[in-house]
Amino acid sequence: MTPGIVQLGDPMTLTVTNSGGTCTGGTFSFGGGLPQPFARPAGAAGGTCGAALAAAAACTVNVVFSPKSAGPFSRTLTVSYTGVPAIPVTLTGTGVAQGTGHLSFTSATNGTLVTTPLFSTFTFAAPGTSVVTMTNTGTGPLYVTDEVLALSMGGLSITGTTCVNATPLAVNGTCTVSVTAPSFPGIGVMLVYNNGTGTNGLGASTLFLIAP
C-alpha cells in the first residue's frame, strides 16, 4: 500500500500446496490489466514460495495492495511450475483516498507506551495481554481496515480488536487492539492500516512491541 491509499480488506497470504512430485521452475506473475495495484514484496516479506516446491509440501505467497487511485480493482496472480497447469488467482481490492483523520496510539495497559511523530513503541511490563487504545486526532473521520503483525517473535499475537469495521472512526473517537505476549522475551511490529495522514510507506501506522 502507498501513503494516501488504504485497502479495504485483509492483506493477503496465499498458500500453494503441491499434491504431486517435486515442482521446479516456479514463477509468480501479476496480470489482468493496468494499472497493476498488486505486487509481491521482495525477499522474506514475499512469503516462502520459490523456484522449487518439494513433493507434498506447501509454501506461501504474500501479496500487497498499492492502488494509486480510489475505486475497485480486480486483477490476477498466476502461479506456474514447469510441466504443471498454471493456477490463476483472482485478486480484488478497493482503494480509498486519504482523509484528514490521523490515527494516534494514545494509551495502553500492562506496560509503557512511548509515541513519536513517525512510530510508537510499547514495552510490556509483564507477560500477558495489553489493550492498546488508538484515537483519531485528525480533523476528519478515518477508516481502520486491518491490524497485522509484520514481525512477531516470542509468540506475540493480536488477540482482539474493536477498530476494524465498516464504520469510520470519528474525530476524537477511540478503538482498541489487544496484543498478547505469552512469555518473555519477544518482539513484534504491529501495522494498523488506515486512510489517515501520517502513515508509513505501507499505508499503516506502526507500533513496535517489546517484551523484554
CB 79 within 8 A of CB 16: yes
Residues 50-64 have pLDDT tens digits of 999 999 999 999 898
- Unique residue bearing C-alpha cell 494509551: 107
Residues 165-195 have pLDDT tens digits of 768 899 999 999 999 999 999 999 998 988 8
DSSP helix/strand/coil, 46: helix
Instruction: State how far the Cα of 49 lies from the Cα of 51, in Å rounded to an integer.
Output: 7
Nearest to residue 169, comparing CAs of 204, 198, 144? 144
CB 6 within 8 A of CB 193: yes
Q: What is the pTM of this model?
A: 0.66
Instruction: State how far the Cα of 149 lies from the Cα of 136, in Å rounded to an integer.
Output: 21
Task: Please give the domain boundaries of the chain with CATH numbers for all domains.
Answer: 5-97 (2.60.40), 103-211 (2.60.40.10)
Residues 103-145 have pLDDT tens digits of 999 999 999 999 987 789 999 999 999 999 999 999 999 988 7
Residues 20-69 have pLDDT tens digits of 999 999 999 999 998 888 888 777 778 999 999 999 999 999 898 877 66
- The DSSP symbol for 169 reads B
Instruction: State how far the Cα of 166 lies from the Cα of 151, in Å rounded to an integer.
Output: 26
Position with higher pLDDT, 211 vs 99 = 211
Position with higher pLDDT, 145 vs 79 = 79
